[in-house]
A and B are shown apart, each in its own frame.
Chain A
Amino acid sequence: MTELKTETITINMGPQHPSTHGVFRLILTLDGETVVDVEPVVGYLHRNHEKIGEKNNWIQNTPFTDRLDYISPMSNEFAYVLAVEKLAEIEPPERAKYIRIIMVELNRIVNHMIAVGFLLNELGCFFTPMFYCLRWRELVVDLYEMTAGSRMMPNYFWIGGVSADLPEKFLPECKEFVDAVPGFIDELERLLTDNEILQMRCRNVGVLPPDVAVEYGCTGPLLRASGVPYDIRKAEPYSIYDRFDFDIAAGTVGDVLDRYLVRIAEMRQSAKIVEQALRDLPEGETATPKKRKFRPPEGDVYHRIEAPKGELGFYLVSDGSENPYRYKIRAPSFVNLQSLPYMCRGHKIADVVIIIGSIDITMGEVDR
C-alpha cells in the first residue's frame, strides 16, 4: 500500500459562477478537494475592442477605453491619451496634468478597494467588507460624476488635456475624501487584517516566487507582492510622477496575504499622492483647443503606465490618417491571469477562488 489510487473529477467553474469576476471559465481537475490542474478559458466577453479601435478615429477611441477595465476607467484613458500624445508630440497644460494625476490616483484607491472587498467577499465575509469598500467607491464615483458627468464611463481625458475644468465643489470634497481615506483603511484593517481566519486562509496560499512572477510577465500589485519593487511610476516616471513623494509597497512571500497587504499599503500611498497634487494644483487652462479630428504623424508608439492592476500599455501605429492603423492593448489582467494555473496547483478548491480574487482581474480587460 504505497499509494491509494484515487479518481480525479473535473469541474467546470464558470462561465456562470459567483466568484469568477465576470464570464470566465475554469476547468478544474480535482482530486477530492485538491486542485490537480487548472485550465482557464477566456473569451466569453470578447467584443472586438481592438478592431473597433481601428475603425474609430483617434479621438473617438477614448470612451471605448473606459470599457476595458470598467473598475478603473480613468487609468485606461490615461494610458491611451498619453500614448497618442507621445505619438503626436502634444504637451497638455500643467493644470490638466495635475488633474489627471488626481483622477488616476483616486481611481487606484477605488480599484484596490474593489479588489480587497471582493477578495474578502470570496473569503466568505458575506459582503460586509465589500459594502464598506463600495461605500467609499461611491464617494469617488460621485467626484467623477461631478467633474465629468458620468460615474463609470467618464470619458474625461482628452488628447491634449481634460474635457472640463474641475467644478467648484470638487476641491474641498476631494480634500475631505483624501483626508478620510487613511481612517477608513485603518477601520478596514481593524475589521479583518488581524482576523485569525483570514490569516489562516491567506498565508502561504498561491505563492508566486519573484523569479516566476517575472517569467510570467506579471506586473502591478501581483509582482510587487512577490517582492519585486517594480513600479512604472518609479522605474520610468511618465507624466509628472517624478514630482511626487511616495513609496512602493512590496511583499515578502508573494502569497494572497501579501497581495492584500500590498493593495492596502498602495491605497495609503495613492491618498498621499492625491494630497500632494491637490496642494500643488496650478491655475490655468485645462485643454488644448478641441477638434473633431486630428491626424498624428506617421509612426508607431508604445506607452505604458502603472494602472492599478499592473502595466497597461497601448501600442499604436499611425499611417497618418484619421484612424489608427493598429491599436493593440497590453492588458495587465490578461497577462497576470497566466500565472493562475501555476499558483493553484496543489491547493484546495476554496483557494482557487481567493487566488483569482487576489490577482484582481476584470474580464472586460482580459477578453477585450
Chain B
Amino acid sequence: MLGFGILKGMSVTLRRFVDTYVGDLGKFPWRYRSRPVYKRMGITERGAFTIQYPEERVAMFPRYRGPLMLLTDPEKGITRCIGCGLCERTCPTESIKVTRAEEKVDDQRVPETYEYDMNTCMFCGFCVQICPQDALGHSPELEMGTYSKGDALILNLDQMLELGRKHAPGGVWPLEKEAEPS
C-alpha cells in the first residue's frame, strides 16, 4: 500500500549494500586472502559472498569427486591396483579400460595399461566404491581444462599414478582419512 512494501524491500537491499562494505572492512587490508579457505562463507555471515577465484582458492572437501587417480601403497612403493577390471565393468559410461600385466611385482598383480577417459566420465564414483583393493581415488584437481576435447582428456596409467602420488601420498581415499594420524 502506498509504496510501503517498496520501501521495505529497498531497506533490505540497502542493508545488503552496506553490509558488503562492512564485510570488506573486516578483511582490510587483505581483501584477497591468498591461502585456501576451507569455508566458502559463513552461514550467518553477511557481506559479499563471491570468491575472488585466482587469488582466493577454496580447498576442496576431502570427499570431493574429481578425476580419478590410482593410489600407491607407500610401504610397497607400487600401486594397489591389481588390474582386476571391476571398475571397468561397473562404470556406467564405459570410461575405464584396464589390462592386467602378465607378471607379478612384489607378489602382487599389477595393471599393464589403464586408460581413463574424462570426456565421458560422469564422476559418479562407482568405480572407487567398488574397488576391492581401495586402489582408486578422486583427486581434488579442478583445473583440468584443455583447449580441445579428445585425447587431451584421456589419462593413462602413469598420469593417474602421478596424480595419486601428488594428492594422496598416504595412499588412502577419502582424503579425510589421509589427514588422520594412523
Contact = CB atoms under 8 A, between A and B. Distances in A.
B181 interface: no
Interface stretch (B29-37, B58-66, B68-76, B96-104): B58-66
A138 B49 contact: yes
B145 interface: no
Contact of B90 (A60, A138, A191): A60
B8 interface: yes
Contacts of B138: 149
Interface string B79-106: 0000000100110100000000000000
A362 to B, nearest CB: 18
B63 A148 contact: yes
Contacts of A193: 5
Given A63-B92, A194-B8, A195-B9, A153 B43 contact: no
A173 B43 contact: yes
B124 interface: yes
A3 interface: no
B9 A192 contact: yes
A153 B123 contact: yes
A163 B125 contact: yes
Contacts of B49: 135, 138
Given A60-B126, A150-B123, A196-B3, A187 B63 contact: no
B44 A155 contact: no
A227 B126 CA distance: 43
Chain A CB within 10 Å, residue with most, of B8, B124, B126, B138: B124
Given A60-B92, A176-B44, A177-B43, A153 B122 contact: yes
Interface residues on B, range: 35 or more
Nearest to B38: A169
Contacts of A187: 12
Contacts, number: 95
A145 B12 CA distance: 30
A145 B64 contact: yes
B61 A145 contact: yes
A146 interface: yes
Interface in B1-44: 1-6, 8-9, 11-13, 16, 40-41, 43-44
B130 interface: yes
Contact of A167 (B90, B123, B176): B176
Interface string A198-210: 1100000000000
Given A60-B90, A153-B124, A155-B124, A290 B63 contact: no
A146 B38 CA distance: 11
B62 to A, nearest CB: 8
B85 to A, nearest CB: 11
Contacts of B125: 149-150, 155, 163
B4 A194 contact: yes
A279 interface: no
A199 B3 CA distance: 11
Interface string A180-200: 100000010011111111110
A341 B39 CA distance: 45
A192 B4 CA distance: 11
Nearest to B2: A196
A63 B122 contact: yes
Interface in A85-130: 128
Contact of B63 (A63, A149, A195): A149
Contacts of B119: none
Given A135-B49, A139-B43, A155-B124, A149 B12 contact: no
B1 A196 contact: yes
B129 interface: yes
A72 interface: no
Nearest to B44: A180
A270 interface: no
B9 A191 contact: yes
Contact of A149 (B6, B43, B65): B65
A292 interface: yes
Nearest to A132: B16
Contacts of B130: 290, 292
17 contacts: A59-B90, A60-B90, A60-B92, A60-B126, A62-B124, A63-B126, A138-B41, A139-B41, A142-B40, A149-B64, A163-B125, A180-B44, A190-B12, A191-B8, A192-B9, A195-B8, A292-B89
In the A-B complex, the 7 residue pairs with the closest CB atoms: A194-B5, A63-B124, A149-B65, A60-B92, A149-B63, A195-B5, A191-B12
